[in-house]
Amino acid sequence: MANLSTTNEIKTDSAESKLIPFSIAGIVCFGFALLLGAGSWYLFGTNRRLSPEKNAIAIQTNNQNSAVENSNSVNDSSMPTPNSLSTPIQEIKKAPAGEISTNGGEVTLGGGDTKLPLRRIAVEPFAIGATEVTNAQYAEFVEEAKHKAPIGWNDNKFPTGSAEEPVVGVTWADANAYCQWLSTKLGTTVRLPSEAEWELAARGNTAFKYPWGNEWNDEMSESAETKGKVRPVKNFPKGRSPLGAFDMIGNVWEWTGDLLVDEFGNPVLREKLKQRVIKGGSVKDKRDYLKITVREGRPEDKESALIGFRYVIIRQ
């Protein structure tokens, strides 16, 4: 039995001595693999794991490069360029009557002596003609558009000496046609003002009865009491509105784009025809009547020697 035990111990020692080199080799290989994996992660993995800010920059840069590549691959001269997408401010043509800009705001219409319920209307920013359209300005439209001349003109020519007077004797449709013609010339939207826009231009952010204040002044406008007559535009510079518009009260009535409606919002008919709101009064009206809030209606197809118009411009 002693020999058998000795023999087993020898075999065991021999087997253990053979496992030692394999164990050492395994440990070395594992360590080498661990070091190789860590190095690979450090060298390659960190470059792909950017912070959110850097990653966003990388995406933006890639998009820009892609856009450049796409633009280089397109050689179509009909494609819009950045400059052709919107007209630079310095290239926008000036309106004939000049322009007065407003930031818009909320306008209260009705109440008082209008027999209409109060309405608060939000008005977007717009520019309005500094004056009413003059005979000279309207004559250009008559000639270019081959439009019929107003009443009182002879052979498509306005009366001598009246070039700077507001054009009158035009229907609402005539005034609207002028605005469409001017829209094409200026390359932007031109139209008749709404009643709210007109009132905002007349009093700005004030609650004045007249453009200049709450007391009548014969130096600001003419009236029936002064036996006034239609004057050239800008004849009463002291009577300008807070925004700088001339002749908003007196001189001649002005067409607006709004329909005349009753207290229920229904169109007011005259001779079975819808009417448009006119604002501002004329030199033939009494001073107590010539207020910013005054409003009347006239059928669209009826002209008058005391009705003219001004326009608003909506820049795109």
> pLDDT tens digits, residue range 88-108?
334 457 889 888 888 888 888
Between 220 and 112, the higher pLDDT residue: 220
Report the pLDDT value the prediction gives residue 115, as an integer from 0 to 100: 75
Q: What is the mean pLDDT of residues 103-131?
A: 85
Share of the chain above pLDDT 70, in %: 71
Report the pLDDT value the prediction gives residue 202, as an integer from 0 to 100: 95
Q: Token pair of 92, please?
A: 């926008």
Query: According to the per-residue pLDDT averaged within each range, which of 8-22, 39-53, 60-74 is highest?
Result: 8-22
* Predicted structure pTM score: 0.69
Q: What is the mean pLDDT of residues 83-92?
A: 38
Between 90 and 52, the higher pLDDT residue: 90
Q: Report domain 95-314's class.
A: alpha beta
Share of the chain above pLDDT 90, in %: 56
105-114, 182-191, 237-246, 249-258: the lowest-pLDDT one: 105-114
Mean pLDDT of the chain: 77
> CA-to-CA distance for 275 and 261, rounded, in angstroms?
8
Select from 165, 128, 89 the least CA-distant residue to 243.
128
Residue 63 pLDDT exceeds 80: no
147-193 pLDDT tens trace: 999 999 999 999 999 999 999 999 999 999 999 999 999 999 999 99
Q: What is the mean pLDDT of residues 226-249?
A: 95
Q: If you write DSSP's letter for every residue of the chain in order, what string do you get? A: -HHHHHHHHHHHHHHHHHHHHHHHHHHHHHHHHHHHHHHHIIIIIGGG---HHHHHHHHHHHHHHHHHHHHHH---TTSPPHHHHS--GGGSPPPTT-EEEE--EEEEE--GGG-S--EEEEE--EEEESSPPBHHHHHHHHHHHTPPPPTT-BTTBPPTT-TTSBP-S--HHHHHHHHHHHHHHHTSEEEPPPHHHHHHHHHTTS--SBTTBSS--TTT---GGGT-----TTS-GGG--TT--S-SSSSSEEEEEEEPB-TTSPBPEETTEEEEEEES--TTS-TTT--TT-EEEEETT---TTEE---EEE--
Report the pLDDT value the prediction gives residue 27, as an integer from 0 to 100: 54
Q: CA dist 121 to 21, 199, 316, Å?
A: 95, 11, 22
Residue 33 pLDDT exceeds 60: no
Residue 66 pLDDT exceeds 80: no
60-69, 176-185, 253-262: the lowest-pLDDT one: 60-69
The pLDDT-based confidence of 2 (bands split at 50, 70, 90) is very low
The pLDDT-based confidence of 35 (bands split at 50, 70, 90) is very low
Q: What is the mean pLDDT of residues 115-127?
A: 85
